[in-house]
Amino acid sequence: MTALSPSRRRRLAGVTVLAGIVFAGCAKNAPQDTFKPEGPNARTIDDLQRPLFYVAGLVGLIVFAVIAYVLVRFKDRGQEMPQQTHGKTWLEVLLTVIPAVILVGVSIPTVAAIFELDDQSNECVINVTGQQWWWEYDYTGKCGDVEITKPIVTSSELVIPVGTPVLLRITSRDVIHSYWIPALNGKRDAMPGSLRTLRMEADEAGIYVGQCTEFCGLSHARMRQAAVALDMDDFQTWVDNQLEAYTDNAPEPGSLAASGEATFINQCSRCHQINDLLATDGTPVLAEPDLYVVSGAAPNLTNLMTRTAIAGWTFDLLTEECREQLWDAPPAEFGDLYLQGVWMNSAADARKPICFDEATLRDWLRDPAAMKPMFVDPNNLSSTGGRTRGMPNLNLTEDQIDQLIAYLLERN
Amino acid sequence: MFTTGSKMFLGATTLSVVAAVVFAASTGGATGLLGTVGLVTVAIVFAFLAGINFFTRDGNTPSMQQGVEHTSSAAQPPVGRSMWPIFAAVGVGGLVVGAVSRPVVFKVSIVVLLAAVVEWMVQGWSERASSDDRFNAGLRGRMMHSLEFPILASIGAGAVVYAFSRVLLTADPGAGLWIFIAVGALIVTGGFIFASAPKSSKRTMAVILTASAVVLMGVGVASALSGQRTIHPHPTIDDPSQKALCLEGGEEEVDEHASQDVSLKSNIVADVYLQENGELVARVRGYANDFSQQIVIPRSAHLGVIFHNESAESHRLTGRFGSFPEQPEAVSCTTAVHPGKSAYLGFQISKTNAASSTPFEFIVPGVEGATIQIVVP
């Protein structure tokens, strides 16, 4: 193979860098783009970071241009060493004053933005608790115009009303995590023994994606989250659905779903709670994840099928087509589609939801750790007193998986 | 700097230590222990021989070199007077005393003995390094100052901090505040005076600083001898009598001299107020001005509340965190908080309300109806 000449090598390197820059801007789906604010808080940050980015870019360009000029102009061509001088007072003063003026100029809008982001006129407060490797949300009371009479606990998918300032009270049960939904606000660390706040507000209905941004162990990359913004009417519907009494849609005795309920009680309810679930003797079925999981919590699965993804918002409950349909829906149609969830596009009397990605849920129930790295090896739990970090393999049979899926679908 | 002989023994020492580590790691049982002890013994012997050679500079004198009878290290006068043997004797004495009294004396004596031996050895070596005393002093400084200065500074700073902490632990909390302010003001004033009079003699500064250190150490020793003030343990749910205290109120206090002012805490979920009219309300973090009688918290998270007593009498805040099968009721409380004062109460609830046979709530013992519901969904 013939070696490239130096000039061709330089040209090739330049084209490669240019192509990299161009192609980096071609991402079709970039839901975590920090330059696409979708709410007032993110917009405040964007209004600050854009001019700073331009100023910093200009300064960078000037610096690189000067360096390039010096490199070329004063390249060693065998000329005599020029006379050496020690400093130039006026230049040193100038090079101190200019950055100082720039920093003062930057600090004024920065401080103003900090105060603006700290506005405490919230209409909704939600507890957000991180653990390896998912987020839990507890709704604490009134949210906008909607009265939440009983606490709602959900996971991975934060549902908020559009145009309502929502305050997240963020903490962690195990290690440090960081909550970030770029379209709605900056990031906030979630630390054990600390309660920190972050404001969220969305301009219009839609789904806004985020990611844990503090390395938190094996599946940090698979600890994702989403904020779903619904119009106030749709939010009311969502709340009503979450608070619906269990008996209103309890499985019919003898059905596959009823067998699923028994399987759930036997296998899953040690860690996962379904609110108001009763055992055969009429006593409440109460999860005790504090006995089995290091963090002391596992996702509450009441109304699991109203969510669009599971396992730290990593695996879809919707098929790819339906997912795209939901994500691309205009704000006016989004709420309706979201509330239909896996039953989207299905006839009213359909027994099977068209949009349900059953294969993914099946794979998850067969062996969760095979899909998402977790600390669940039973031979390696001595350091945690037998407690896992994540969901272990329950060795469910295919029949049990059929039953559980039927049960969870009916619990929608 | 290091002579040939001492280099050889230092190498042999290192090799023996490595061998001991490898043998210990790779061989178990009685054989492993025996072999490791043997190799460690060999390492100690080699280290001793290295020290001897280092001290005597191998005793070499090149016979053909001109003037060697005046310049060689062996021709230098014997080492002058040294204080290190005294320290070494103190160390040995301490070892004996420590062996029959307290382990800490034994450990400190080992440190003293080692320091004395190293200093003595280096002094002896450096004072015969050449016929030039200034060069020898510089050689010693280059070798030892990088060790001596940080160690002495750490010991000095540690002694000052320890002495001052004894004073603060002995004094009444109110007086401690003023002592802290006074000492801080004195240091700032002294620094200001020194800075504004740079021509002050080093001797004056040394005298003032030494006198200050002596006074501080003296007061610290006196405070340590008189013992710290009584600080009662915080009531915990493990102690049945303390649990009764939490639920029934009473006059006992955790620390009656405590300031009862809460500094910044990072996990506060709500401020709880006992108002003048006896009503207990919570200002939940996140809601700007609303008072509530319900707090929703996540399970298994370390959280806390700050209790503000706005009533005319001392009261404590008690958290009742549920009763679960085969476990006593989980209860915790603050100290009895004086009127106008505050206290912190931390908690972690691992189970939901539904799992408990008794409600989760904050109460104020002795105040009828003062209750805030805790919801753990």
Yes or no, beta carbons of A297 and B300 under 8 Å apart: yes
Closest-CA distance of chain A to residue B284, Å? 10
- In this complex, the residue of B294, B301, B350 whose CB is nearest that of residue A171 is B301
In terms of C-beta distances under 8 Å and separation of at least 24 residues, what long-range contacts does B169-178 make, across chains too? Answer: B169/B223, B169/B228, B169/B229, B170/B223, B170/B224, B170/B226, B170/B227, B170/B228, B170/B229, B171/B223, B171/B229, B172/B229, B172/B257, B173/B257, B173/B258, B173/B259, B174/B257, B174/B259, B177/B259
pLDDT, averaged across chain B: 84
Strands B294-296 and B371-375: parallel
Give the best-scoring range by mean pLDDT among A80-84, A336-340, B5-9, B299-303.
Answer: A336-340
Taking Cα atoms as reference points, which of B345, B233, B202, B215 lies closest to residue B280? B345
Yes or no, beta carbons of A273 and B352 under 8 Å apart: yes
Q: Are residues B247 and B368 in the same domain?
A: yes
- In this complex, the residue of A122, A138, A295 whose CB is nearest that of residue B286 is A122
- CB-based contact, B350 to chain A, within 8 Å: yes
Yes or no, beta carbons of A192 and B354 under 8 Å apart: no
Closest-CA distance of chain B to residue A187, Å? 18
For chain A, report the end-to-end CA distance as a whole number of angstroms. Answer: 64
* Mutation choice for A interface testing from B271, B300, B324 by most A CBs within 10 A: B300
Question: Angle at the Cα of B141 (from B136 to B142), degrees rounded to 5?
Answer: 100
Domain boundary among B196, B226, B256: B226
Which residues does residue A170 pair with via DSSP β-bridges, in sequence order? A128, A196
Closest-CA distance of chain A to residue B236, Å? 19
pLDDT tens string B91-135: 999 999 988 888 889 999 989 999 998 898 888 878 877 778 888
pLDDT of res. B251: 54
Q: Say if residue A289's pLDDT is above 60.
A: yes
Report ipTM for this prediction: 0.80
The answer to whether residue B125 is domain-embedded is: no
Q: Are residues B268 and B197 in the same domain?
A: no
Q: Are residues B160 and B213 in the same domain?
A: yes
The answer to whether residue B326 is domain-embedded is: yes
The answer to whether residue B166 is domain-embedded is: yes
- CB-based contact, B296 to chain A, within 8 Å: yes
Q: Which domains are present in chain A?
A: 124-243 (2.60.40.420), 246-317+357-410 (2.60.40.420)
Residue type, A36: K
pLDDT of res. B23: 87
Q: Hey, which residues 100-119 in chain B have their CB within 8 Å of chain A?
A: none
Closest-CA distance of chain B to residue A139, Å? 8
Q: Are residues B369 and B281 in the same domain?
A: yes
Q: Dihedral sign, CA of A32, A35, A38, A42? A: positive
pLDDT of res. A207: 96
Alpha helix stretches (DSSP H) within B101-201? 103-126, 133-170, 173-196
Q: Are residues B349 and B246 in the same domain?
A: yes
Q: Are residues B218 and B254 in the same domain?
A: no
Domain boundary among B166, B194, B226: B226
**Residue A204: exposure state from Cβ atoms within 10 A (0-12, 13-18, ≥19):** middle
Q: Which position has the token pair 């070696």?
A: A3
pLDDT grade, residue B233 (50/70/90)? Answer: low
Cβ atoms of A184 and A23 closer than 8 Å? no
Q: How far apart are CA B244 and CA B241, in angstroms?
A: 5
pLDDT tens string A54-77: 989 999 999 999 999 999 998 888
Yes or no, beta carbons of B303 and A121 under 8 Å apart: no
- CB-based contact, B375 to chain A, within 8 Å: yes
Residues of A in contact with B285 (CB under 8 A): 169, 195, 197
Q: Write out the residue range of the structural domain in which residue B197 sits.
A: 153-226
Yes or no, beta carbons of A193 and B299 under 8 Å apart: no
What 3-state DSSP class applies to A225? strand
Q: Which position has the token pair 């320890």?
A: B162
Residues of B in contact with A172 (CB under 8 A): 301
pLDDT of res. B326: 78
- Cα-based distances in Å from B69 to A235, B66, B77, B124, B134: 101, 8, 12, 19, 20
Taking Cα atoms as reference points, which of A204, A223, A238 lies closest to residue A307? A238
> Quick check: pTM over 0.80?
no
Closest-CA distance of chain A to residue B370, Å? 21
Yes or no, beta carbons of B266 and A193 under 8 Å apart: yes
pLDDT of res. B254: 53
Nearest chain A residue (CA) to B292 = A141
Nearest chain B residue (CA) to A120 = B288
CB count within 10 Å of CB B341 equals: 18
Q: Are residues B280 and B198 in the same domain?
A: no
Q: Which position has the token pair 């698979």?
A: A222
Residue type, A108: I
Q: Are residues B358 and B259 in the same domain?
A: yes
Q: Say if residue B284's pLDDT is above 90.
A: no
**Three-state SS sequence of A269-308:** CCCCCCCCCECCCCCECCCCHHHHECCCCCCCCCCHHHCC
Yes or no, beta carbons of A129 and B352 under 8 Å apart: no
Residues of A in contact with B350 (CB under 8 A): 290, 296
Taking Cα atoms as reference points, which of B215, B194, B249 lies closest to residue B368? B249
Closest-CA distance of chain B to residue A48, Å? 25
Yes or no, beta carbons of B285 and A194 under 8 Å apart: no
Domain boundary among B226, B257, B281: B226
Q: Are residues B254 and B163 in the same domain?
A: no
Yes or no, beta carbons of A171 and B266 under 8 Å apart: no
What 3-state DSSP class applies to B53? helix
pLDDT grade, residue B237 (50/70/90)? Answer: very low
pLDDT of res. B248: 72
Q: How far apart are CA A340 and CA A326, in angstroms?
A: 10
- CB-based contact, B298 to chain A, within 8 Å: yes
CATH number at residue B352: 2.60.40.420
* Mutation choice for B interface testing from A136, A139, A140, A286 by most B CBs within 10 A: A140
Looking at the structure of chain B, the number of domains it has is 2
Q: How far apart are CA B76 and CA B74, in angstroms?
A: 6
Q: Say if residue B271's pLDDT is above 50.
A: yes
Cβ atoms of A404 and A260 closer than 8 Å? yes
Q: Are residues B172 and B206 in the same domain?
A: yes
Which residues does residue B294 pair with via DSSP β-bridges, in sequence order? B373
- In this complex, the residue of A136, A141, A286 whose CB is nearest that of residue B354 is A286
Closest-CA distance of chain A to residue B177, Å? 28
- In this complex, the residue of A195, A286, A297 whose CB is nearest that of residue B269 is A195
The answer to whether residue B263 is domain-embedded is: yes
Residues of A in contact with B299 (CB under 8 A): 290, 296-297
Q: Say if residue B333's pLDDT is above 70.
A: yes
Yes or no, beta carbons of A152 and B377 under 8 Å apart: yes
Yes or no, beta carbons of A286 and B269 under 8 Å apart: no
Q: Say if residue B321's pLDDT is above 60.
A: yes
pLDDT tens string A183-233: 999 999 999 999 999 999 999 999 999 999 999 999 999 999 999 999 999
Lowest mean pLDDT across A122-136, A278-292, A293-307, B117-131: B117-131
- In this complex, the residue of A194, A273, A286 whose CB is nearest that of residue B266 is A194
Higher pLDDT, A370 or B49: A370
The answer to whether residue B146 is domain-embedded is: no
Q: Hey, which residues 99-128 in chain A have their CB within 8 Å of chain B?
A: 120-122, 125, 127
- CB-based contact, B266 to chain A, within 8 Å: yes
Taking Cα atoms as reference points, which of B364, B362, B363 lies closest to residue B374? B362
pLDDT grade, residue A356 (50/70/90)? Answer: very high
Closest-CA distance of chain B to residue A226, Å? 19
The answer to whether residue B340 is domain-embedded is: yes
Yes or no, beta carbons of A127 and B298 under 8 Å apart: yes
The answer to whether residue B121 is domain-embedded is: no
Yes or no, beta carbons of B351 and A151 under 8 Å apart: no
Q: Are residues B291 and B361 in the same domain?
A: yes
Residues of B in contact with A167 (CB under 8 A): 286
Across the A:B interface, residue pairs with CB atoms under 8 Å apart total 82
Q: Are residues B353 and B323 in the same domain?
A: yes
Alpha helix stretches (DSSP H) within B3-67? 4-26, 29-56
Yes or no, beta carbons of B294 and A141 under 8 Å apart: yes
- CB-based contact, B351 to chain A, within 8 Å: yes
| The token pair that represents B282 in the structure block | 């919570």
Closest-CA distance of chain B to residue A121, Å? 7
pLDDT tens string B350-376: 888 888 889 999 999 889 889 999 999
The answer to whether residue B111 is domain-embedded is: no
Cβ atoms of A322 and B326 closer than 8 Å? no
